Amino acid sequence: MAEHLQVELVAADRTVWSGRADMIIARTVEGDVGVLRGHAPMLAVLTDAVVEITDEEGQVTVAVVDGGFLSVAADRVSVLSERAVLAEEIDVDEARAELDTAQGLGPADESERRVRRAEARLRAVERAS
């Protein structure tokens, strides 16, 4: 068994974070999941939400993903998403404006998803603070 997890957080256009970690927490369509070394293999569908990675030195990296997949196998964790952003890369004013716009669009499925995405970005910034 490895001493740490090998984690990769990958967006469609780049690797957002890669390294050794002690724990990762993500939200799947079935609820939050925490992964430590020795975790059973799994594949899960992610929601638009915050992902927290605690590296081997205890530093927490906070990111937000727009859905995607979480794969765990042999102490390797892959988080794959169309779009993933580190909390420090998020423009808070832009995220608030995005939320206001999405909330004004009405109850359509796409506007609800835009609200969830904007709220997740704001939560990521709050958790990273």
Model confidence pLDDT, tens digit, residues 29-68: 999 999 999 999 999 999 999 999 999 999 999 999 999 9
CATH code for the domain defined by 5-86: 2.60.15.10
Higher pLDDT, 20 or 127: 20
Residue 106 has a pLDDT of 62
Residue 112 has a pLDDT of 79
Q: What are the pLDDT digits (tens) for 70-105?
A: 999 999 999 999 999 999 999 888 888 888 887 776
CATH 2.60.15.10, the chain: domain bounds: 5-86
Sign, CA torsion 29/88/60/82: positive
Instruction: At 55, list the tokens.
Output: 């590296």
Type of residue at 70: L
Residue 123 has a pLDDT of 84
Under a CB-based contact definition with an 8 Å cutoff, are residues 42 and 30 in contact? no
Note the pTM of the prediction, 2 decimals: 0.84
Which of 59, 58, 101, 65 is CA-nearest to residue 83?
65
